[in-house]
Amino acid sequence: MKDIFKVAIDGPSGAGKSTIAKAVAKNLGIDYVDTGAMYRAVGYKASSRGVSPEDREAVKHLMEDTDIDFADGDIILDGEIINDKIRTPEISKAASLYSAIPEVREKLVEIQRKMGMRKSVIMDGRDIGTNVFRDAEYKIFLTASAKERAERRFEELTAKGQKVDFDEVLRDIEKRDHDDMTRALNPLRKAEDAVEIDTTGLSIDEVIERVLKEIK
């Protein structure tokens, strides 16, 4: 293995990408890049400074002076560890608003690529291997049947005490699949050089073992 390498994990919603990526990062002793947390960090910073998502010029200036990094499980915004500050419903809502702004997405992809140039990282998403890290040394495409992914999501929500209908969860999964695969900008698809792993019927430990085997 190279001294510095990138691992890209892509796949549809509910395939277990984040869970697997975090475990693999820990096993390999590298940083897991939580892209969702990056958007939360932007939402936190913009909200703190009173920058409205409608004020594109202000957002652009904000992003020009923004630095985000990960180290030992911490997310660092402009030199400050902000782990607890970005896990609120308000910041989650703000992250959703700012993530739709092209300038924000472009800046964060730039930061992600720079991270991958100076240290080993693992990142999961919908277009990591096909867009963000096209040159990743290791590309994994995790998938599972829509029914199994819906069952996982149903169990997760039920465990949190939420009353949900399985058929509704399944329809939501299928809609997200369609939306992700048909969107105009960087749609979900398996990179030509990615290894596909179908996690249907596999335990988390079995999937981790399969991914580590491909990398090592």
* Other residues' Cβ atoms within 10 Å of the Cβ of residue 61: 13
Torsion angle of alpha carbons 134, 139, 144, 149, nearest 10°?
-70
CB distance 146 to 15 below 8 Å: no
CA atoms of 171 and 152, how far apart (whole Å)? 14
CB distance 169 to 154 below 8 Å: yes
91, 119, 147 - which closes a domain: 119
21 and 128 together in one domain: yes
115 and 188 together in one domain: no
**Closest Cα to residue 133, out of 152, 157, 115, 151?**
115
Q: What is the pLDDT of residue 1?
A: 61
Residue 16 assigned as binding residue:
yes
Q: What is the pLDDT of residue 24?
A: 97
Place of tokens 């997405």: 105
90, 119, 148 - which closes a domain: 119
CB distance 24 to 212 below 8 Å: yes
Per-residue tokens: 88: 């609120």
CA atoms of 7 and 135, how far apart (whole Å)? 10
**Closest Cα to residue 85, out of 58, 113, 48, 55?**
48
Q: What is the pLDDT of residue 96?
A: 85
Which pTM does this prediction carry?
Answer: 0.86
Residue 12 assigned as binding residue:
yes
Q: What is the pLDDT of residue 99?
A: 87
Domain range for 66 is 33-119
Report the CATH number that the domain containing residue 208 is assigned in CATH. Answer: 3.40.50.300
CB distance 104 to 159 below 8 Å: no
User: pLDDT (tens digit, 9 = 90+) per residue, 38-56?
Assistant: 999 999 999 999 999 999 9
Residue 145 assigned as binding residue:
no
119, 150, 166 - which closes a domain: 119
Residue 19 assigned as binding residue:
yes
86 and 139 together in one domain: no
Task: For the chain of 216 residues, list the mean pLDDT of each consecutive stretch of 10.
Answer: 89 91 96 92 96 95 95 94 91 88 93 96 93 96 95 91 92 90 87 96 95 94
- What would the DSSP string read from start to end of 17-68? HHHHHHHHHHHHT-EEE-HHHHHHHHHHHHHHTT--TT-HHHHHHHHHT--E
CB distance 123 to 133 below 8 Å: yes
Q: What is the pLDDT of residue 87?
A: 86
**Closest Cα to residue 86, out of 17, 18, 40?**
40
How many structural domains are present in the chain?
2
Give φ, ψ of 106 to 5 degrees.
-60, -45
7 and 57 together in one domain: no
Q: What is the pLDDT of residue 62?
A: 96
Residue 11 assigned as binding residue:
yes
1 and 43 together in one domain: no
